[in-house]
Structure 1
């Protein structure tokens, strides 16, 4: 509310209010909030004062509110450092008035059909709007991200090797099929997911940049990785084993090292950090089974596909409950369902996934998409009422995955609690079994 009124009364308000001496920005399609939260937690544990927009939005009104809330009566900032999550689509309303000293970019993908369904559209906005004096910390394994603002000072972070590396993309979507330099066909030497990996162009010689911060020796049993920078290297803890969160952790380390923290100042806090429970939470039931809440970000085919692949790769027999709907949009618009067909539902067609439960107002849309992914019909249950899903759980599943969108956090928690109270979680024999 404060930021909204400030911009209504004064459209260039962000440019007029006094900014802190240093600003660290975090942008990109996926991972912004996770990276920002981890970075802020590490600064807090090092007793470095700052303010952020963690409890607000990442568009211009949210940034304005954060600046207002952290200024004194004379309009001067209370802290010398701000850490700001910055929506990439809002760049024209932010960067003309606010120049980050360091800007971390996690990746560039297509997103909601309404806002930024074309990755090159977002790339063109960032190229036009990012200030020339901003130092960039870029994902060197993303051909789109690494090509942002070539005239700016920059460093790249990259992952050296993963046991899951492929040479062929399994995903429906590849947002970088052509060379960003000459528009010739790109050869993908290493594929992690979608267009993330290492590439080269045989026409002009373009290739993925050399990393300034390279993650090596990734040990998922010990949950550690080594980061090499020049002649130095340090080992850090990993808060999560998924590939995208390895990249997120590496982005945090790279950004904070560029800011001036020592490896020790980063290493110690990382040992106790976890991914935010609004993104991922695991609960063990009284009978030793698991309930996992996993953000899937409806209307975002890349984030959903990452969640689906994480479910497929998890051990044991799994039931999957999808809370993907557009009810929060219903008062103003109806979201196109085209994003479902960019999303890799095929990852849920796996023998380890014994049940797929589709709920909500759009359950017939997701049911159709699941059938087109050749998921056996006898594994699929779909219904209108989300709360009825608990009674439909397969008693033989070892783990329940609840995949939910950002607007369904409270509903997902309510369903998790209902599952904890159910016969499935207590190890009791279900009625009629």
Structure 2
């Protein structure tokens, strides 16, 4: 028995040595050009959604891809990374999105007091997306914490509030913070209660003191280069009056592009985006190589807010090539209660515009929708979690979307791999 154990130990040692050599070789291969080789892993969610679908050709097609080899895809964009479960715009969130096959990652770009660019969804969201209120930096916030006013019946008369801006603090101070899930408790009477408001269908599991690492825009570029993904920075609308300390809106738009140039990133790997058409036209006119892929984000709240055919054509005539509306704007329901491409989506394609759609996985359980923003035009045709895969299919096939933003890229990545989308 002892001899057998020794022999087995030697065999395991040889095998371990061989695996170590193979792992080292793979790591060296993946590190060529500074890129990390991504082994795409989607986790259980796509399979759960497919199993939950109504029976039919699409479900059968998607089931046939269950054992398919997976690759990153540019059809799948990590919206703020993977914020369904990870604090947005953090190293961990971005790495999770890349692991789920997102071929493009987003850094929303705000600026600090010392005019450095950082990844934040809004200039004034630090109180809901970071731990700033629990740190000494809270005293630098534009508006400190104010507890909720609650009447004798337990009703909120005035919700709890605070406002902390990236422009309130320096880059060094920003980097000292930790990201958390974007949320707040409007009933809070203490700071601790205020920051503890994560929706029950999200999680705080990955928002600990040793995670949630915030990023500068420059750091995001280097991380994205390492991950081998393309990049879509969004220039955020400032809440401060511009120019800010001599920093104009055009300076802001130019600085964003300059940081890609300085990092040696090719224009074809960058999709700069903004809700302000003036930012987009600035890139089209002043930085035409980057402007060719500039994305005009549509901030419509209802169908009535959407541009008509003539307006969409005017975008293309001015040199804009990509229009990015919210999910509801691209979809409609026909007389058979089927989800189809909307009139606006058809008008955009007729005008020669590519479409990028935002954003899936921000609505909680689809079976519980009740006036949801993203599904407002198709809510009556959505009744179960598996309907998400139908939505993706219509956006891909009927709408002809170039890409889809998602807070959890795995289902979009699965669909793209199954259908052979790049």
Is TM (by shorter chain) over 0.5?
no
Q: Which band: TM-score by shorter chain?
A: under 0.3
TM (normalized to structure 1)?
0.26
More helix per residue: 2
More strand per residue: 1
TM (normalized to structure 2)?
0.26
